[in-house]
Amino acid sequence: MLDTTAQQDTPSRLDPTRLQQLATEVYQSIGVPEQDAQLAADTLVQADLWGHQSHGLLRLAWYVARLKSGAMKAVTQTSLTVDAGAICVMDGHDGIGQVITRQAVDQAVARAKLHGVGVVSIRNSNHFGTCMYYTRIAAEQGCVMLLMSNAGPNMAPWGGLKKKIGTNPWSIAVPGGDYGPIVMDMANSGVARGKIYLANNRNEEIPPHWAVDAAGRPTTDPKAALEGFILPMAGHKGYVMGVMVDILSGVLSGSQFLDKVHGPYDPVNRSGAGHLMVALNVAAFQPLSEFHQKIDQYVRSLKDVPLAAGHEQVFYPGELEKQADAENRARGLALPADTVADVVRVAREAGVNSNLAQ
């Protein structure tokens, strides 16, 4: 553990490149090939840069634990179980979710460029971090991309009291013009589980509509919430969406589903997570430049409205992340002291000199 003085001294802003290099070295120290280690590290730092700290370096220790136990394999080797033109089924063989999913992006985009649409159904994968990391890459290449994943169970079916359904995130990214890609990324729970972990790490209370305790009572205690049930977003709608994402990710791919999927915070069990990725090549539908112009027009129209009290502007989907990324790259990342301490500990255990707590 970092001592208290060191925590106090933690610089308020850390260099993201240095953090990415550190996480890369940690991954490499446990047998992850360099390129894969760089990717996995980048997904963590990028999540922090976007302001999604619940999916950032906070999770490095979890992934390391899974790699050390062998639940997630350090060397990722994918294969295609089905390889049929516009579609394929990819088997991740319990490799690193980030590496598997990044390969899937290339598969989906290549198939979309040939066939107008490319579909990759992915089995035996692992948690891959933030969905939008991958969908944005496709959008930069002129494709609309939809990506979804199932996850370890932490919500009960509507009306039930047993964890069966994951937060099951999904993202859509669309190529943009002057504004860059338009990006949606959300979970079907009222709140990402990672945000409750973060509140727990920070010893903060949570809003009462985020979760119920094990007996089904609303709670503001993140610990009780983690032992209970996260509530779906928008009531039964979030439940229904969670089920559909689980079926399309887990059942269609021939992977695991419902409570047979294990999450990234489980250090010993293979994940069984499945994903579904669909890429649409915009140029097959209309000239890409026209599409870019219309998206620019779209964003301008969205913003051209009278503002409600308490709002200074209308944001398009993904704009907040874009702004956070620019600011954090310029000023450095301000991470919670607990997260920094965790990273320092993991690095020390891996024999890597972190240089974060000088």
Which residues contribute to the site for a second copy (CB under 8 A)?
Answer: 82, 84-87, 89, 115-117, 119, 121, 144, 156-162, 164, 172, 174, 182, 184, 186, 190, 216, 233-234, 237-238, 240-241, 243-244, 247-248, 251-254, 257-259, 278, 280, 282, 284-286, 291, 294-295, 298, 301-303, 305-311, 313-317
Smaller CB separation from a second copy, 158 or 265: 158
In whole angstroms, the minimum distance from the beta carbon of 308 to a second copy comes to 5
Smaller CB separation from a second copy, 31 or 160: 160
Smaller CB separation from a second copy, 16 or 238: 238
Cβ 27 vs Cβ 346: under 8 Å: no
In whole angstroms, the minimum distance from the beta carbon of 175 to a second copy comes to 10
Smaller CB separation from a second copy, 1 or 80: 80
Q: 173-196: b or e for each residue (b if 16 or more CB lie within 10 Å)?
A: bbbbbebbbbbebbbbbbbbbbbb
Residues near 235 by beta carbon (within 8 Å), at least 6 away in sequence? 158
Cβ 151 vs Cβ 263: under 8 Å: yes
In whole angstroms, the minimum distance from the beta carbon of 89 to a second copy comes to 6
Smaller CB separation from a second copy, 16 or 317: 317
Smaller CB separation from a second copy, 157 or 332: 157
Residue for token pair 């990391």: 133
Give the Å distances, CA to CA, from 205 to 56, 219, 258. Answer: 21, 9, 29
Torsion of CA 54, 60, 66, 72, to 10 degrees: 90
Task: Report DSSP state, residue 310.
Answer: T
Select from 13, 312, 274 the least CA-distant residue to 127: 274
In whole angstroms, the minimum distance from the beta carbon of 310 to a second copy comes to 8
In whole angstroms, the minimum distance from the beta carbon of 150 to a second copy comes to 11
In whole angstroms, the minimum distance from the beta carbon of 182 to a second copy comes to 7
Strand duo 143-149 + 273-281: pairing: antiparallel
Can you tell me whether residue 28 is helix, strand or coil?
helix
Smaller CB separation from a second copy, 258 or 337: 258
- Spatial separation of the C-alpha atoms in residues 63 and 71, rounded to whole Å: 10
Tokens of 101: 């999913």
- Spatial separation of the C-alpha atoms in residues 109 and 113, rounded to whole Å: 6
Smaller CB separation from a second copy, 228 or 264: 228
In whole angstroms, the minimum distance from the beta carbon of 209 to a second copy comes to 10
In whole angstroms, the minimum distance from the beta carbon of 116 to a second copy comes to 4
Q: Which residues pair with 123 in a beta bridge?
A: 91
Can you tell me whether residue 293 is helix, strand or coil?
helix
Smaller CB separation from a second copy, 244 or 334: 244
Tokens of 92: 């991740």
Smaller CB separation from a second copy, 161 or 268: 161
- Spatial separation of the C-alpha atoms in residues 282 and 201, rounded to whole Å: 43
In whole angstroms, the minimum distance from the beta carbon of 117 to a second copy comes to 5
Which helix (H) or strand (E) segment holds residue 65: the answer is helix 60-69
Amino acid present at 264 = P
Q: Which residues pair with 80 in a beta bridge?
A: 90
